[in-house]
Amino acid sequence: MKILIINAGSSSQKSCLYNLTSDHLPKYSIKPIWKANIDWTVAKGQGILTVEANGIKKNKILNHKHFCQAIPQILNTLIQGKTRVIKNFLQINIVGHRVVHGGTDYSEATLITPDVKAVIARLIPLAPTHNPSHINGIQAIEQVLGNVPQVAVFDTAFHCHIPLKSAAYPIPYEWLEKGIRRYGFHGISHKYCAEKAAQILNKSLTSLKLITCHLGNGCSLAAIKNGISIDTTMGFTPLEGLMMGTRSGSIDPAILIHLIRQYNFTANQLNTMLNKKSGVQGVSGISADLRSIIQAVNEGNYRAQLAFDMYIHRLRWHLGGMLGSLGGLDTLVFTAGVGENSAIVREKTCEAFEFLGLKLDPKKNNNFSVDTDIATDDSTVRILIIHTEEDWAIAQECWKIFNQRYLSL
């Protein structure tokens, strides 16, 4: 079975093709047979397409304005040239899209119908950068691949059962009725990591109290009880919560009122400042990449040190909140670029929770590999590094839907 994954973000788009040869869903992730990434950040108005298949890697400059216009060209690399992995498009059985916002409408992955497309379109005001790309991506696939089944896997879905006392903001109730509430994001990653943690620990997910720390360019935590997300740090948008690469995370909302009144800031200026010019980048003035910050810290740079200390402080602070929501903790999971690779971030974060009996093994933390337990044997809390595999998680959802809906007919 061939499953095509489309993961369209704001500055990069990743696609890949999985070939599942067994009748059963493999217990462990498999590698895609074809990968295509577009990076739009290198040159203005141009994308750099990188395709990997058959052991080779090819780069191409795309002169399209948008990912969706490039989809036919990208998909052609599946059936032509040195990266060819299938004879024709008819071999693709199903297509899975990562969709950032599903509102409160979807608690799980769903087959895309005209109604589902209408909901994704209706939610554009809540995800103005992402949901239009998803709609365009779905339509572009329809044009190239015809009526192949397409599945939407929502980043918000895993957080759909967060109790209202956590989801609602303490503002006039009428705004809750208008959809101003916390939705949570990174759900595909948090769910994948929770399931993987149970697999690594050889325990039932329903028996665990977990906190998953997704620390990439965007950062969020999820408190997971009985396999269900009961709290998370991102909210109405992916701006709330932790300090991130370029995003501020939570700040006093009165700062915005002050900037509007005293400095005539516009909505667009505030949006750019909080999403693109804040966080680690904004405080350090050096980079959004924690690797550069840690290097600058070692060189004695004051602002890099401040940015790093704030990143850790805010991470510990929000972890405390998740602990309160869970009322206990069995397993702490680190994932995504920073979580998987930065031993110092894990060390500094865990230090604050030693009073719980949580003990990080320094050797295991420094000589780590992914999908392992780095806690000491006598730690009361297991500490795992898990390599998040969002594309594989989307492929699993597609496999399940395909087998339920199509093979059972």
358 binds ligand ADP (CB under 6 A): no
- Total residue length of the chain: 409
Contact 236, 230 (CB under 8 A): no
Cβ proximity to ligand ADP: between 289 and 361 the closer is: 289
d(CA 390, CA 396): 10
- Among the listed residues 289, 330, 347, 361, the single contact to ligand ADP using CB under 6 A: 289
CA 327 to chain centre: 25
16 binds ligand ADP (CB under 6 A): no
d(CA 70, CA 153): 22
245 binds ligand ADP (CB under 6 A): yes
398 binds ligand ADP (CB under 6 A): no
d(CA 394, CA 78): 19
292 secondary structure, DSSP code: H
Tell me the closest approach of the beta carbon of residue 344 to ligand ADP, in angstroms: 8
Cβ proximity to ligand ADP: between 112 and 215 the closer is: 215
* Cα–Cα distances in angstroms (integers) from residue 156 to residues 153, 186, 314, in the given order: 9, 7, 23
Nearest one of 230, 126, 139 to 187, comparing CA atoms: 230
Considering only the stretches 25-33, 165-173, 271-279, 285-293, report the one whose residues sit in contact with ligand ADP under the rule CB under 6 A: 285-293
Cβ proximity to ligand ADP: between 271 and 287 the closer is: 287
Q: Rule CB under 6 A: which of 326-355 touch ligand ADP? A: 336-338, 341-342
Cβ proximity to ligand ADP: between 293 and 401 the closer is: 293
Residues in binding contact with ligand ADP, number by CB under 6 A: 13
305 binds ligand ADP (CB under 6 A): no
d(CA 303, CA 296): 9
Instruction: Produce one character per residue of 201-228: b if its CB has 16 or more CB atoms within 10 Å, e if not.
Output: beeebeebbbbbbbbbbbbbbbbbbebb
Catalytic residue, chosen from 39, 105, 155, 289, is 155
216 binds ligand ADP (CB under 6 A): yes
Q: Rule CB under 6 A: which of 149-188 touch ligand ADP? A: none
Considering only the stretches 61-69, 161-169, 284-292, 315-323, report the one whose residues sit in contact with ligand ADP under the rule CB under 6 A: 284-292
Amino acid at 367: N
d(CA 242, CA 220): 6
Cβ proximity to ligand ADP: between 266 and 366 the closer is: 366
Residue 266's CB: how many other CB atoms inside 10 A? 10
- Among the listed residues 65, 82, 291, 313, the single contact to ligand ADP using CB under 6 A: 291
Cβ proximity to ligand ADP: between 282 and 401 the closer is: 282
d(CA 53, CA 55): 5
Q: Is 252 a catalytic residue?
A: no
Specify the DSSP element, H or E, that contains 191: helix 187-201
Q: For binding to ligand ADP (CB under 6 A), which residues are involved? A: 216-218, 245, 288-291, 336-338, 341-342
Catalytic residue set: 155
